[in-house]
């Protein structure tokens, strides 16, 4: 290759030019109005120092954590009409086996016997809350059990008496016959804060006294996947699995801040989201169960829904905080207090209501017969009204998700439904269920028709909108819901996809 004599000089000149230009680019002046504050001249002190050691805590409180075994005796299934096996799609036979809830069958929509045909055993956790043998656990751990056995950390076993159990709060109170037992202290109400360290001790998969730790992810969480609207859950990332239910969630002082109750999972195992019942909610339920054998809650008699930007202008409010009242029950506590549809509830006895899901736990905790001061926004004006709280009855407690707290809404599967009146039940030949009132193309293509009465989702009998919404929420994205419908006296399963 031929080179001109001065080419090396040109190359050197180019390198020098780049060398001079680079410092200029790297020492650009800061902007006059920076987006963020500049770094501090001296490093800020750390807000978190080191990791906690839970050894002493576990040694101190571990003996008060117990293992619970709930056993159900075999039950004879009632017989009744049901579809022939040939009429049942293979996918349902394979998935549900021989315990599909047909009318007249076990767990079926006509109220037949429930529970496993051959009996069964439920394993869970719990903790001693007094030296004389009171034990707290979850309702779903002991539900339907004939015998409940409590095993202490020293391997002693006791047959426990179920003092009382409450489905809505998922709290059960047990009693064993012993004295001088170790017990746990309860943390003050509302002491759990997002970011705090918490510890769980329990028996996942029967591995008793397993310890896991994490932090509080959120408090006051409404769990949309559980029909427990009266519980403001503590959400954590503590590893919780089957068998942890009923065990304590502890703070770093060894105090119980909650009872581990549920997990959110697409697989059935831990996925980083678990829910605990706040200890003040659990203790309120336990005290009532001990004294009266049941839990009483308050109600106002209103249907509420979330306040959206689209609705805010229509009801004349500027902000989006509060619970929008869609309907007031005639003659109820709210009606007598002068509360109107379109009002927005912003506080109850000074407790802030930020969203519709905040309302049920606050009102449910009120004692029936007491007065509640309700802060409202009505057409942009703020006012307080006083209502005398009513008692929430059993039927109201199990009412649909449309009341007394939420509006009726589309199911997420392309149809809407409501609790079936007597004439629809008679026409369909169903003893109870919800009637389909509207359809999308996807649900229609799956075979669903307006007027069909849904009596079960999978194995679970359906009596109300709350039952339906609760079961449909368990269906994973991309999966289909197995709906057992009654149509002109015929029972039929349909696979309806999520929309």
Q: Are 105 and 77 in contact (CB under 8 A)?
A: yes
Q: Which of 110, 140, 166, 467 is catalytic?
A: 140
d(CA 328, CA 318): 22
Residue where the block lists tokens 């705090």: 196
178 part of the active site: no
**295 vs 98, 174, 231, 281, 402, CA distance in Å?**
36, 15, 13, 11, 22
Q: Are 443 and 414 in contact (CB under 8 A)?
A: yes
In the 8-state DSSP scheme, what is residue 304? E
Confirm if 258 and 282 have CB atoms less than 8 A apart.
Answer: yes
Residue 140 among the catalytic residues = yes
Q: What are phi and psi of 210, to 5 degrees?
A: -80, 140
CA distance 183 to 188: 16
Task: Say whether 170 is catalytic.
Answer: yes
Q: Which of 139, 166, 169, 170 is catalytic?
A: 170
| Pair 284, 364: CB distance under 8 Å | no
At a CB cut-off of 8 Å and minimum separation 6, what does 175 contact? 133, 134, 135, 160, 161, 163
Whether residue 103 contacts residue 490, with contact meaning beta carbons closer than 8 Å, is answered with no
Question: Is the preceding omega at residue 217 within 30 degrees of 0, hence cis?
Answer: no
User: Peptide bond preceding 404: is omega within 30 degrees of 0, i.e. cis?
Assistant: yes
- How far apart are the two ends of the chain, measured CA to CA in Å? 71
- One of 125, 245, 377, 411 is an active-site residue; which one? 245
Residue 276 CB neighbour total at 10 angstroms:
29
Give CA angle at 277 (271, 278), nearest 5°: 125
Spatial contact of 260 and 240, defined as CB atoms under 8 Å apart: yes
Contact call for residues 493 and 475 (beta carbons, < 8 A):
no
Residue 139 near residue 244 (C-beta atoms within 8 A): no
Question: What is the 8-class DSSP label of residue 22?
Answer: H
Given a contact cutoff of 8 angstroms between Cβ atoms, the answer to whether 82 and 88 are in contact is no
A 10 A CB-CB count for 360 gives 24
Active-site positions?
140, 170, 245
């Amino acid at each position: 290759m031929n080179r001109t004599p001065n080419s090396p000089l040109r190359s050197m000149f180019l390198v020098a030019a780049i060398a001079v230009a680079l410092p200029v680019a790297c020492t650009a002046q800061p902007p006059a109005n920076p987006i963020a504050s500049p770094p501090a001249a001296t490093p800020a002190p750390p807000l978190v120092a080191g990791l906690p050691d839970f050894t002493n805590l576990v040694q101190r409180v571990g003996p008060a954590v117990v293992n619970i075994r709930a056993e159900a005796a075999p039950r004879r299934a009632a017989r009744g009409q049901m579809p022939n096996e040939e009429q049942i799609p293979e996918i349902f036979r394979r998935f549900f086996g021989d315990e599909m809830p047909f009318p007249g069958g076990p767990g079926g929509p006509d109220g037949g016997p429930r529970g496993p045909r051959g009996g069964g055993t439920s394993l869970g956790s719990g903790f001693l809350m007094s030296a004389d043998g009171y034990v707290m656990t979850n309702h779903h751990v002991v539900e339907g059990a004939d015998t409940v056995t409590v095993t202490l950390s020293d391997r002693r076993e006791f047959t426990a008496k179920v003092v009382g159990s409450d489905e809505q709060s998922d709290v059960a109170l047990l009693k064993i016959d012993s004295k001088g037992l170790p017990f746990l202290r309860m943390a003050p109400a509302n002491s759990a804060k997002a970011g705090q360290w918490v510890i769980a001790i329990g028996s996942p998969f029967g591995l008793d006294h397993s310890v896991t730790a994490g932090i509080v992810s959120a408090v006051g969480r409404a769990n949309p996947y559980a029909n427990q609207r009266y519980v403001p859950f503590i959400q954590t990332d503590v590893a919780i699995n089957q068998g942890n239910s009923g065990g304590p969630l502890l703070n770093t002082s060894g105090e119980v801040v909650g009872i581990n109750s549920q997990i959110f999972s697409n697989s059935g195992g831990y996925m980083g989201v678990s829910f605990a019942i706040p200890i003040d909610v659990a203790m309120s339920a336990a005290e009532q169960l001990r004294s009266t054998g049941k839990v009483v809650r308050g109600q106002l008699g209103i249907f509420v829904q979330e306040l959206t930007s689209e609705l805010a202008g229509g009801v004349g409010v500027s902000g989006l905080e509060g619970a929008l009242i869609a309907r007031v029950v005639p003659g109820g506590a709210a009606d007598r207090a002068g509360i109107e549809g379109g009002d927005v509830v912003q506080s109850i006895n000074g407790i802030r209501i930020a969203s519709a899901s905040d309302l049920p736990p606050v009102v449910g905790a009120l004692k029936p017969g007491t007065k509640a001061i309700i802060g409202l926004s009505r057409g942009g004006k703020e006012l307080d009204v006083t209502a005398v709280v009513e008692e929430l009855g059993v039927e109201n407690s199990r009412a649909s998700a449309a009341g007394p707290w939420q509006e009726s809404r589309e199911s997420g599967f392309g149809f809407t439904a409501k609790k079936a009146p007597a004439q629809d039940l008679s026409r369909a030949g169903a003893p109870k269920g919800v009637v389909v009132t509207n359809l999308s193309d996807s649900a229609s293509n799956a075979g669903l028709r307006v007027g069909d009465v849904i009596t079960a989702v999978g194995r679970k009998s359906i009596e109300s909108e709350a039952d339906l919404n609760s079961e449909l929420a368990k269906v994973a994205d991309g999966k289909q819901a197995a709906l057992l419908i009654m149509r002109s006296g015929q029972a039929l399963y349909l696979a309806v996809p999520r929309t």
